[in-house]
Amino acid sequence: MTASTWKFCPECATPLEPRDTGGRLRVACPKGHFTHWNNPLPVLAALVEVEGRILLARDAAWTNGMFALITGFLEADETPEQGMARELKEETNLDVDRMTLIGVYEFMRKNELIIAYHVEASGTIALNEELAEFRLVAPERLRPWRAGTGYAMADWMRVRGLEVEFIDLPARPVQETSPQS
């Protein structure tokens, strides 16, 4: 939840108020029960390589033609590497053979911190209900986008001496009914 969606203290239901917490404005319970710190959420991302090609997937909720890296949330009591292996297995049925860190990237629009890996994987691809379809793309044909995981893809490509040509994604439509858009 972003700071704007927290309205009441989860302990006593008192309306939250803006409060300066060491130079940062946060919402807090005036009775001292709760402060919403609004820290970034850790998100895991994998540039998945299967037999020399890169797996890109389309989330079931996305527009046709929109493909991206495999991503998921880090859960309690797991390392980022364990979380990435879990997400990969859950979403694609693939197993990690080798995993190396690409880097860590901000994604301020969604208040996320992306931990991106290059994963060499094996197995038979079987998508779960979160993903609608996938593509296997030759590394030299990748076209990163100018945000979060796109920067991870570009960094991975540069290390391999591949030319990076960014694409611009279409502007996001304004959704007045959704507070999280």
At 12 the pLDDT is 97
Mean pLDDT of 89-104: 98
Give the chain's end-to-end CA distance (angstroms, integer).
12
pLDDT tens digits, one per residue of 113-171: 999 999 999 999 999 999 999 999 999 999 999 998 999 999 999 999 999 999 987 66
Class of domain 41-159 (CATH, top level):
alpha beta
Distance separating alpha carbons of residues 57 and 29, to the nearest angstrom: 42
Domain at 3-36: CATH code: 2.20.70
Domain boundary assignment for the chain: 3-36, 41-159
**Please, which pLDDT band fits residue 63 given cuts at 50, 70 and 90?**
confident
Given a contact cutoff of 8 angstroms between Cβ atoms, the answer to whether 37 and 22 are in contact is: no
At 4 the pLDDT is 57
Identify the bridge partners of residue 50 per DSSP, sorted by sequence position. Answer: 53
